[in-house]
Amino acid sequence: MDKLNRAVLGRVLALGVLLAAESVQAQPADAREWIAAGTAGTLPAEKTFGNALGGLGIVNAGGAVDMKGHPFFEPLGSNGRACVTCHQPADSMGLSLASIRQQWVATGGRDPLFDPIDGANCPNLPRDAAASHSLLLERGLIRVGIAWPPKPRNGVPIEPEFSIEVVRDPTGCNTDPVYGLDSDKPTVSVYRRPRVAANLKYVSYEVGAFNAKRLAMVNDRDPFTGKYMSMNIMSDAREPSLRTQAISAARDHMQVREPLTDEVLDRIVAFESQLYAAQVADSHGGSLVEQGGPLALGPRNLQQQERGLGDNFGVPLFRSFEMWRPAPGETQMQRDFRESVARGHDVFFIRPFYISDTAHINTVGMGNPMKRTCATCHNSSMVGTDLSAGWVDVGTNNLPYARQSFENPWSDTRHELPLFKITCHDEARPHPFLGRVIYTQDPGRALISGRCVDVGSIVMGQFRGLAARAPYFSNGSAASLRDLVDFYDRRFNIGYSEQEKQDLTNFLSVL
């Protein structure tokens, strides 16, 4: 853990000592270039941002952008936030824990990022106290308040297939008389990582009406175009398009007083649609974008390649890494790292294991368990999402697989996240592997669909720019890429060797 992490947080327990921002003097080891809301200047057509593992590249396909007056960078609501507040170029257009902690120290907790509406564990907590923002400062999580029961955009009520009870509420928000489940406006508060606002041609796109591959249901429509959409933007797939996402983010996170105009929405969507982000340099492997190198690497290749369904052999998701066997390089360290990445590519694509008891994976007619590879589910070329609407219950939210502790995801010694008891109605189709009573930290897609089979399911996130935006999973339960690999190894009893774990970690770090 870096020096700042120890100084700011000191491993805050439920009733432990809480540190004020002004008492912290250390500087972050992984300093980030932060773009504050309202910043003047130009974001170049191409720029590299340093991070702990090397450097991240951002490409604006539409050319340089004047940030002054641009609605992505200007405060639009009442709390001083802009879109860029939670979608930082240095963090692969997401938000890293390193940047969050850096801003807490630099601004004494006064950056608009820490606005209590969702930057605190609950809006009723003291703004200046580090403890009020512990989930943001320790796990990089933003509070997401979702109305209950579900309230679809079309106005047609959804009758949920289950009841929801609050079992444990360490933040106090789900039992709060103003913000909680029993308030005048019943709300479920869950805590999630911001999604990446780059490489979106691979994430948000028009599709056919039916999604028979995984969900056997009609895809959601963009209300502005009437087109069926891929449903991969948000963790719970609640927003079908970048336009509807911008509207809801402005309302819920920026607290705009008036709806955004069509001109503002057009400019936000156009900017997000032209951005590509990927790691371009590694501290051990050197440049990742040398001529003749792997075609998957770097933002320029992301811009130039096309979206499609990849597989293990015919159309590899991340193209070929054969030119790194044996790897070129000026030093032995560089050559060793690149060869490790090439081996990690093989672990991802051709190292089989048994996938079991995973809703929306083992429930689509391919068996339980089924012997496959990482690429089976992460099948969208160049980004590693699911080409289909990709919400699955891999175990990050639902017990018994989910755990609370940031330091040890398989220990229940610390309780940071809420815990809900879901009871499915008798007439409802139960969760296929957990039955009718489910304990979950985040009901996920089920808060939108109202379906028992969706409890705990979360939309897969893309794999690009991972080195720039730790921690991982929607609930921030993997502090590092190695923690992410270890989770899957334990979850599916894969039995990776130490070499395979390191190679796979290195592979993910260069994407």
| pLDDT tier for residue 365 given thresholds of 50, 70 and 90 | confident
Measured CA to CA, the distance from residue 175 to residue 154 in angstroms comes to: 29
Percent of the chain topping pLDDT 90: 81
Structure tokens given for 36? 């504050």
For residue 56, give the nearest of 8, 113, 99, 2 by alpha carbon: 99
More confident residue, 400 or 209: 400
pLDDT of residue 408: 56
Q: Give the 3-state secondary structure of 95-153.
A: CCHHHHHHHHHHHCCCCHHHCHHHHCCCCCCCCCEHHHHHHHHHHCCEEEEEECCCCCC
Percent of the chain topping pLDDT 70: 89
Residue 306, Cβ neighbours under 10 Å: how many? 8
Structure tokens given for 273? 């649609």
Strands 275-282 and 162-168: unpaired
For residue 117, give the nearest of 98, 136, 100 by alpha carbon: 136
Distances, alpha carbon 450 to alpha carbons 151, 406, 424, 445, in Å: 10, 29, 10, 8
Give the predicted TM-score (pTM) of the model. Answer: 0.92
pLDDT in tens, 205-253: 988 777 644 555 678 999 999 999 999 999 999 999 999 999 999 999 9
pLDDT of residue 409: 52
Burial of 207 (0-12, 13-18, 19+ CB in 10 A): middle
What would the mean pLDDT of 29-36 be, rounded to a whole number? 84
| pLDDT tier for residue 413 given thresholds of 50, 70 and 90 | low
pLDDT in tens, 257-268: 999 999 999 999
What would the mean pLDDT of 75-88 be, rounded to a whole number? 97
For residue 187, give the nearest of 164, 220, 158, 154 by alpha carbon: 164
